Structure 1
Amino acid sequence: MGHADRRRTGRPPTAAALKKLVLRLAKENPRRCRRRIQGEPAGLGHPIAPSTVWEILHAAGIGPAPRRTGPSRREFLTTQAERIIAADFFHVHTITGRRLHAPAFLEHGILRLHITGITAHPTAQWATQQARNPTADLGARVASLRFVLRDRDSKYTDSFDAVFEAEDMDVLLSAPQAPHRNAHRERVIGTIRREVPGHLLSVNQARVPQVLTEHREHYTTHRPHRSRGQRPPEAQAQPAVLHDRVPRRLLCTRVLGGVINEYR
């Protein structure tokens, strides 16, 4: 209730109305102390004592501001999605049973996927080189990224982190044995495991990069994503809706030998 509302009604707000306002301010502004919360009603023409604000918050079980500062991890990842790139390593097997390792970097904001290399013997030096590859691929977009989200795998060393820190990014570590803390990364790796090695065994190491590149192209240029309104990462907007009734031919493109189909 502002000045205009008070002049119109001719009555000050009730205690219940002020209590409701204080609780709303505390909920919508969790980093504000009670002094700042007190200032909002005062600015609306309804001064309230700091002790009254404290009593209202205390009765509602809302602690002092230091206990309420900072967003939760989920809130942080949501609000900072456009500025986060997540890193992880996954593995695939050849038909001979050889285990190959590949790094995956996922831009949270638009879900653009980068798969930068593959090896049977991942070392710390190799991992550091893989960190350099996406920063080169990102080009000017690297300036818009602020955080690198990774787990505590031993392949991540100070040299790996230094590649991103040189681009003014902060490295965020997920908790041990907590894959849900990097859920976007886990989801894309799960997609790769289901759609690539689960249906297509590669004969040798030379074939695996071709398979992963083809899948990455599908993932970034055609695959619809619910979080992006059923748009692929590379799409700026949905195609125009066709309102006419002109019959059109549906074209199907087989990806990875028919493991995945694309329609146009």
Structure 2
Amino acid sequence: MLVRFTYLAVTHAFAALRLLRMTDREKDIEILALRHQLTVLHRQLGKRRPRLRPEDRALLAALLVPLSRATLRRLQLLVSPDTVLRWHRNLVKTRHARASVHRGPGRPRTVASIRRLVLRLATENPSWGYRRIHGELALLGATIAASTVWEILKSAGVDPAPHRTTVTWADFLRSQAEAILAMDFIETVTLTGQRQYILAAIHHAGRRVRILGTTAHPTHAWVTQAVRNLLMDLEDAGNLARVRLLIRDRDAKYPALLDAILSAAGISTVLTGVRMPRMNSITERWVKTLRTELLDRMLIWNQTHLRHALREYERHYNLHRTHRSLAAAAPLRARPQPFEPDRIERLAVRRRDRLGGVLHEYRHAA
């Protein structure tokens, strides 16, 4: 409507400039001709009223309101003088309403950063009500009323705390990931025809992989020693106290003594169901990644070659390979800060090959 009204106003402004060059006699003749055309239109329309657009009403109200009611009655208008005056009153009322919206009644609007912080606290803490969020804001030095916090949550469509405390499976597993370790066997065959068994463990939270060893004969003694080495590695890294669960399948390669060893370290064993690999989905996904990126892309000569390839891949996976669950960071390497625009133009990248070019790593050139 505003665009159309502006167009009509500019058009009539140029028409008014054209009238300046006309004589009074020419203007009188034009007025008589226009009046006669209006009489013809009235005769054709009869009792039907013409349809006027909102911009037409606004323009007529702005042009005709300076005239008196008696003058409006003498004019042969398509509408009555009372209608023109009503249009003007509506136009003034709309203008005042828009001004009040821009001005804002009452207290000033809350700062956008405070509003975002309130919504963030409500999203990250589903059990917090508006008063708990208000208290946290007070600790952060943000002076805001508790009723304002409630109004922000209500306007954003955030439900009250009792309706937001439902925990999804994804949130539950994410909160427990720090205490979960998973383990599995991977089978592969060398060029000599020998079947090799790879025992690996992965931490759910950090996605760090530990390849515990490879053997052609996974005896109970070998598996027990591999798990003892894992526990010592976790203790040296200071992570043993945080691990409370170990997920594994029901493979007969695991000895009965294994559960007792883990229990002595404060770790409970969780067995997956029969033919239910999704219960150990993170490990199964890593096994697929290992096959896709390493085992299916190179020929393994013997056990020595396999161990060398696995050491290289473990180093590559933990220190270089990015993960979506870690926001594109690696398990043992944080994501670097983004470059400045001027530095990107001078960016030089060097490629490093592992295992004869099977794995590629890219780093900044020195």
TM-score normalised to structure 2 length: 0.53
Does the 8 Å CA contact 2:197/2:216 hold for their aligned counterparts?
Answer: yes
**How many equivalent pairs are there?**
206
Q: Distance in 2 between matches of 1:263 and 1:257?
A: 15
Question: 2:225 and 2:250 mapped to 1: Cα distance?
Answer: 18
What is the Cα-based RMSD across aligned positions, in Å? Answer: 2.2
* Alignment match of 1:209 (pick from 291, 307, 323): 307
Q: Which has a greater percent of helix?
A: 2
What is the CA distance between 1:128 and its match in structure 2? 1.2
Q: Does 1:119 align with 2:215?
A: yes
Out of 152, 165, 179, the position equivalent to 1:83 is 179
User: Which residue of structure 2 aligns with residue 135 of structure 1?
Assistant: 231
1:69-108 correspondence runs (5 A): 76-108=172-204
Identity %: 36
- Consecutive unaligned residues of structure 2, counting only runs of 5 or more, are 1-128, 132-145, 148-158
Question: Which of 222, 231, 256 matches 2:355?
Answer: 256
Aligned to 1:225: 323
1:93 touches 1:201 (CA, 8 Å); kept in 2? no
Structure 1, residues 29-61: CA drift from partner, whole Å, max 9, x if none?
A: 57xxxxxxxxxxxxxxxxxxxxxxxxxxxxxxx
Structure 1-normalised TM-score?
0.72
Flag the structure with larger Rg: 2
Residues in 1 aligned to 2:262 and 2:252: alpha-carbon distance in whole angstroms: 17
Q: Which secondary structure state, in structure 2, belongs to the residue aligned with residue 168 of structure 1?
A: coil
Matched to 1:183, the amino acid is S
Question: 1:79, 1:240 → 2: CA distance?
Answer: 26
Which one has more relative contact order, counting CA pairs under 8 Å at least 6 apart?
1
| 1:164 corresponds to | 262
Show the counterpart of 1:241: 338
> 1:12-91 residue pairs with structure 2 within 5 A?
25=162, 28-29=165-166, 76-91=172-187
Q: Report the Cα distance in structure 2 between the residues aligned to 1:81 and 1:186, rounded to whole angstroms.
A: 16
Corresponding residue number in structure 1 for 2:13: none
Are the equivalent residues in 2 in contact too, given 1:88–1:151 (CA < 8 A)?
yes
Residue 206 (structure 1) shift? 1.3
State the Cα deviation string for residues 198-250 of structure 1 (Å, max 9, x = none). Answer: 01112111111110010000000000000000000002x32121103351321
Distance 1:121 1:257 in 2: 29
Say if 2:291 is the partner of 1:193.
yes
Q: What SS does structure 1 have at the residue aligned with 2:183?
A: strand
Distance 1:133 1:238 in 2: 30
Deviation sequence 1:111-130 (CA, Å, 0-9, x none): 00000111111112211111
